[in-house]
Amino acid sequence: MGIIQKPTLASYWETQDNLWLRRTPSFRSVMTRDRFLAILSNLHINNNQTALPRDHPQYDPMHKARPAIDVCNTAFRKNYRLGRDICVDERIVGFKGRHNIVQYISKKKSHQWGAKVWVLSESDTGYTEHVQLYFGRRNRQQPYPHGVGYSVVTELVEPHYNKFHHVTTDSLFTSPKLTHDLLGNGTYSTGTVLAGRKGMPLSFKTLKTPKGTVNAKKQGNILAIHWSDRRQVRFLTSSDHCRLETASNSKGKEKVAPGVVHTYNENMGGVDLGDQLLSVYDPDIRSVKLWKKILVNLLLTACG
């Protein structure tokens, strides 16, 4: 729990730890072990009597944590003014227990089981500005007329329309319609995109070119770019260009690539940066309910 990791919660109140570096006397000075465990087991922040049944159209799978989610989102937005560059990505709150919103995410190395959270962050600092839990399609009150990715980005970014932010997304979210609609609402965007998305150039689906080759097509103010690197990568942007530029990566090695590639790499890591800051103090409480894990994640986000 925090920087010092111990096998159980009760271990933080032990007095017989032989290694002095692992001793945590501050826990005992704040409250007794039994009092802490009693508070944790009886913690409630919402009235269970107001929870709607699962077959109700307005059923909320996170009713128990809803007040904390709403309060934190309001505070995140009220107390910080985002810079120009923002990004939308997913975060996983690790949980291996049983709950109908828990998913298996194979590509995640830190938490492969857990609740998926959509996050709007500032690219430079990793500041979390808004979080939205994903309950799956079956728990969604309204359908996704243009896909999950489109709905997630527009719902998160809508309060910032016409402020000329630049939002970066990956291929899970990016589509020609999303790029067009964001631009129509005073918001620039850049992101990787799947070749099969509706509205993408048909030639991009089968295009195979030598490494270092750039192909681009433009429609209005939206530019579609096909870049051959170690693999074939496609981008959509309403604010960048496809001219080759030289930039240094995180290891100091120079790389020649279209300007949109450097822009994407610089701005897409906001949520990951926030996750890195959270991981330093990850409490990893395994015995609690999912809503309490989400509550702890929100508190750590607020403190960060």
**What's the mean pLDDT in 27-40?**
89
User: Do both 151 and 112 map to the same domain?
Assistant: yes
- Per the structure, the complete domain to which residue 14 belongs is given by 9-42
The answer to whether residue 15 sits within a structural domain is yes
The answer to whether residue 106 sits within a structural domain is yes
CA 165, CA 167: separation in Å to the nearest integer? 6
Determine the pLDDT at residue 64.
92
Query: What tens digit of pLDDT does each residue of 84-107 get?
Result: 999 999 888 888 777 888 887 766
User: Do both 120 and 153 map to the same domain?
Assistant: yes
Query: What tens digit of pLDDT does each residue of 146-202 get?
Result: 889 999 999 999 999 999 999 999 999 999 999 999 999 999 999 999 999 999 999
The answer to whether residue 151 sits within a structural domain is yes
The answer to whether residue 63 sits within a structural domain is yes
Q: Mean of the per-residue pLDDT values for the chain?
A: 85
Determine the pLDDT at residue 269.
79
CA 218, CA 239: separation in Å to the nearest integer? 12
8 Å CB contact between 112 and 105: yes
Question: Would you call 161 helix, strand, or coil by DSSP?
Answer: coil
CA 289, CA 231: separation in Å to the nearest integer? 42
User: Do both 79 and 205 map to the same domain?
Assistant: no
8 Å CB contact between 256 and 64: no
Res 141 pLDDT > 80: no
Number of domains composing the chain: 3
CA 129, CA 250: separation in Å to the nearest integer? 26
User: Is residue 50 very low, low, confident or very high in pLDDT (cuts 50, 70, 90)?
Assistant: very high
The answer to whether residue 220 sits within a structural domain is yes
